[in-house]
Structure 1
Amino acid sequence: MPKKGNRKRLKFRVGDVCSESVTVADYANADPAVVKTGRVKKAVVNAVEKEVKLLCGLEASQGAVQEVLSSAISVTADSLESSDDLDQEEDGENKRKAARKKKNKRRKESIDGGEYPVDIWLVLSSYIRPEDVCRFSLICRNAWTVTCTAAFWSRLYRRHYHMDVDLPCRLQPDSIDRMCCLRARVIRSLFHLYEPFRLRVSKIPALPESTPTTLLNSKCLLFWVRKVSGTRPEAMWEFNFKFLKQVPGKHCSATSLHMPRQYEEVHTNPDSGCYLLQVTTLNFIFTPVVMGMTLTLFTINVSTDMRHHRVRLVFQDSPLQRGRKRGDQGGTQVVLDPVHSVKLMDWWHPQYPSSPYI
């Protein structure tokens, strides 16, 4: 019986037939796919006829040749009939596999090609956590569109709002009704209301180790000094530098992200990409005006009294070019000594002074 997957197609040429090339086994194991009707090819008939003439010496006796040929053909036909039954079973199995594969393909296309309306994603967004908003928006375009709507951010705020939490006036429920900067206000509110975000802020060090690298080539947007009261009899002074991190070739505006125009007001955030460097000194120190300049050097050393810190900032008119050394020489220097504390805050930090528009 022919084994599945081990059958070979036989090719006969009349000129290449010899006594060892045509055997009964070749016909018994012949591929039924070659001759579907059970008929033997003409090339095979000619090869068998020539072989019989050479073996039996019956070139003059045509009747004997026909007799031998008919017996060979009958053996071949019997083998083909038995092989046809097996071939029919294999064809049935192949058809079932093909139908199953086609059905799975249609099912996969229906899953991949299906697109749920925005209303479905809006309902699902009511059950996601604040830390999963980014993952949710990356599912598909409709999910991202939902995270751009004012309804999404309003529901997120009301879901985590508690009257027991002391919120600033700009983050009270009355301010949520305003469309402008709604997303920024809700994110800042969550760092007061949502416990995982509150714990995250408490674990952030006052001055991360990456601060000098983070503020390098940042533009000083605003600078102010204010007098604060502390544990000392004398008042301390707080120097605030508001920096904007400049990333060449990248813009974080809503227009560059192709956001729907009706939601641009919701995502407006004047403090996006901003940091606040807050340096508290024990006394007032005169500092030059550095607004509009770029920070090219930031160092923190030990003060001369060995009990406090010394902060040195160097500002240039233009950003530091890649591959060049830091601008220690020239530019405008700001030296604060002695320093009581140094803090670096992102725009969403609870102690970050927000813009008057938010």
Structure 2
Amino acid sequence: MPRKGNRKRLKYRADDVSSHRVTVADFANSDPAVVKSGRIKKAVANAVQKEVKALCGLEASRVPSEDGLSVLSENGHFGSSDELEDIENDNGSSCRKKKSKKHKESFMADRTGGDYPIDIWLVLASYIRPEDVMTFALICKKAWTVTCTAVFWMRLYKRNYQASAYLPDRLLPEWMYRLRSLRACVIRSLFHMYEPFCSRVAKNPPLPESTPNTLLNSKCLLFWCRKVEPGGRAEPLWEFNFKLKKPLLKQKNPCSNGLQPPIEYKEVHFNPDQDCCLLQVTTLNFIFIPVVMGMTLTFFTINVSTDMRHHRVRLLFQDCPVLSGKKPRGELGVQIVLDPVHSVHLLDWWHPKYPFSATA
């Protein structure tokens, strides 16, 4: 086997290269020491370019040499962009120049849009569907400002109002002229009148699968129980309601910049039930439950009851929340076991069955 230093290099002559003399054997038996990274020599590239010019005529002869090298690179003769830059440096010219930062800044400056007055955004908001309000608010700051006004929510309420729909007293037209909690009341009314929102409530399960995880470290604001008279049953049911305040999730949102509604529309966005939900557990019998208001829900499970026909709900309330990754200790809190359970429902603050104060 010949040594590496004595390896014979393959020589090319520009005059010997033509379309009739180049064969597959010339490339198959080429010396790797000469053709590094699968790249042909500059002399061979120029010879092939000269042959192409002779075949194509006068128009091809006017093509500069840099274009011929770029064509060869596009056909796969050059392995990478770094190798192409090396050849350009050898010829004393470059066919590709990277855009500088100043060029990019000037390019972006030319693409800046116009600043439209807020009246135009207010007119466009009159044609926004309720499910597209968030998308409209993310267009720009002025579009978001329009969604904070009382005019926007009143127009949205009037466009979707239906006299035949049942509404609580607070959601009737004669009550909607109050600015306090106007946004929350309009959202609640849409789940009574707007068909896409009504069907969404009907299709959602009474208790989502992610409920045990989303309710962890929720604070119990209020608790009450009441007797329910079901149809077709001799004995009444008992309904236990836990009003929970969901914990604030610390999420890094790149689109969020801490925008707050204008001061003049602070009453419009007031919502005492924001991030609240109602855990509703209906049992077959009355069960004594200790006072858990002000405590934090740290454990919540739903299992099969002992009679194998109903459910069994277990709740654990403690004085302080539990850190993620740690298991709560039952002896440090108040444990509530509801068995047998007839049904379990989770109602968000905008749900039609969620109880809210008429003075809100």
Range of TM-score over shorter length: 0.5 to 0.7
Cα pair 1:297 1:328 within 8 Å, conserved = no
* 1:111–1:186 distance in 2 versus 1, CA, 3 Å: farther
Cα pair 2:170 2:358 within 8 Å, conserved = no
Distance 1:328 1:311 in 2: 15
3-state DSSP of counterpart to 1:280 = strand
Q: Which runs of 5+ in 2 are unaligned?
A: 1-57, 67-102, 252-256
3-state DSSP of counterpart to 2:65 = coil
Richer in helix (by share) = 1
Displacement after TM superposition at 1:332 (Å)? 0.2
Distance 1:120 1:248 in 2: 35
Q: 1:6 aligns with which of 57, 61, 65?
A: 65
Q: 1:308 aligns with which of 296, 307, 310?
A: 310
Cα pair 2:169 2:358 within 8 Å, conserved = no
The aligned runs of 1:136-175 (5 Å cut-off) are 136-175=136-175
Question: Could you tell me which residue of structure 2 aligns to residue 27 of structure 1?
Answer: none
Question: Could you tell me which residue of structure 2 aligns to residue 237 of structure 1?
Answer: 238
Distance 1:334 1:353 in 2: 23
Question: Could you tell me which residue of structure 1 aligns to residue 79 of structure 2?
Answer: none
Q: Deviations over 1:220-276 (max 9, x none)?
A: 1111111111132222111000111112557xxxx9532211111101111110110
Q: Which runs of 5+ in 1 are unaligned?
A: 8-101
Distance 1:137 1:265 in 2: 19
Question: Could you tell me which residue of structure 2 aligns to residue 278 of structure 1?
Answer: 280
Question: Could you tell me which residue of structure 1 aligns to residue 179 of structure 2?
Answer: 179
Q: Aligned letter for 1:280?
A: T
- Which one has the largest radius of gyration? 1
* 1:259–1:241 distance in 2 versus 1, CA, 3 Å: same
Q: Deviations over 1:65-108 (max 9, x none)?
A: xxxxxxxxxxxxxxxxxxxxxxxxxxxxxxxxxxxxx9xx89x8
Displacement after TM superposition at 1:329 (Å)? 3.9
Distance 1:336 1:127 in 2: 49
Cα pair 1:296 1:314 within 8 Å, conserved = yes
Q: Deviations over 1:251-308 (max 9, x none)?
A: xxxx953221111110111111011000011121110000010001111111122221
3-state DSSP of counterpart to 2:327 = coil
TM-score using structure 1 length:
0.68
Distance 2:271 2:165 in 1: 24
Q: Deviations over 1:310-356 (max 9, x none)?
A: 11100010001122123344310111111111000111110011134
Distance 1:111 1:154 in 2: 36
Question: Could you tell me which residue of structure 2 aligns to residue 289 of structure 1?
Answer: 291
Q: What fraction of aligned residue pairs are identical, expressed as a percent?
A: 63
Cα pair 1:296 1:327 within 8 Å, conserved = no
Q: Aligned letter for 2:265?
A: Y
Question: Could you tell me which residue of structure 2 aligns to residue 11 of structure 1?
Answer: none
Distance 2:329 2:273 in 1: 27
Q: Aligned letter for 1:146?
A: V
TM-score using structure 2 length:
0.68
Between the two proteins, the alignment pairs up a number of residues equal to 259
